[in-house]
Amino acid sequence: MSSIDKSGTYRLGDRTVKRLGYGAMQLAGPGVFGPPKDRPQAVAVLRAAIAAGVDHIDTSDFYGPHVTNEIIREALHPYPDNLTIVTKVGGKRGADGSWLKADAPDELRSAVHDNLRNLGLETLDVVNMRFMFDPHHPAEGPVEPQIEVLAELQRQGLIRHIGVSHVTSAQVKAARRIVDIVCVQNLYNLVRRDDDALIDELAAEGIAYVPYFPLGGFSPLQSDTLSALAKRLGVTPMQLALAWLLKRSPNILLIPGTSSLGHLEENLAAANIELDGATLAELDAIGKA
């Protein structure tokens, strides 16, 4: 058994995927804008992830924009039969690299077609609708207009499954009244624990939860306790943070991103880490401090 197999599996739409996947955001240039400094390296990282057993890649056509999807296509097309590619819509990039909302019906339709074209696909496996009622945290607001548009595209055969991102529990319920929701993608990690209750709700319904920024994102996780525990176990703090997420709930699917072959290997090795009850309790306390 390879290390990634030890992460276990979970259902994502009509597929069963390994719980340790890969997030493509960091394949673009600085600030997720423009091309990478080393495109051959980005291609190599993707191919190494697949060779290691990764079967779930998270991306978006507004990463770059277009850059990560173009690199994914260059590296992996034609895609392995077991590979699930999840993308997201609802945003766009300004000329200055700013992150802007783009959730009008025509913008969503255009985004889906952009993803199809740049990934070289006829149908997208999963499309997450990213909501931006508040840029910093999920905020209540109507989700029905956007979900209706994606449901229409699903009926046309352009989308296989639909997910939601940056949402509250009430918004998940509202979306599920329109379509089947196969995953929820929100900010969550060892330190940011706002979605504890939502994760448990989704697990009871058999819905995958995919934390973005599982390692803190643009501001990596910092904790003296995490560092001390990692040193004691002989692993890196980031590996330990991923191992905690795998232990947190069986419906959590991880998509740590990197543009480094070394960091990719480290991330995937997190599946090997065994956590006893005492260590888990110490880690749990970090998010409750």
Active site residues: 63
Instruction: Give CA–CA dist 21/252, Å, rounded.
Output: 11
Instruction: Give CA–CA dist 28/21, Å, rounded.
Output: 18
CB–CB of 234/274 below 8 Å? no
CB–CB of 54/20 below 8 Å? yes
DSSP conformation class of 270: G
Which pair of tokens denotes residue 144? 């029905």
Instruction: Give CA–CA dist 4/254, Å, rounded.
Output: 11
CB–CB of 273/235 below 8 Å? yes
Query: In angstroms, what is the C-alpha Rg of the chain?
Result: 18
Closest CA to 128 of 55, 48, 63, 33: 63
- 52-87 CB burial, b ≥16 within 10 A, e <16: bbbbbbbbbbbbbbbbbbbbbbebbeebeeebbbbb
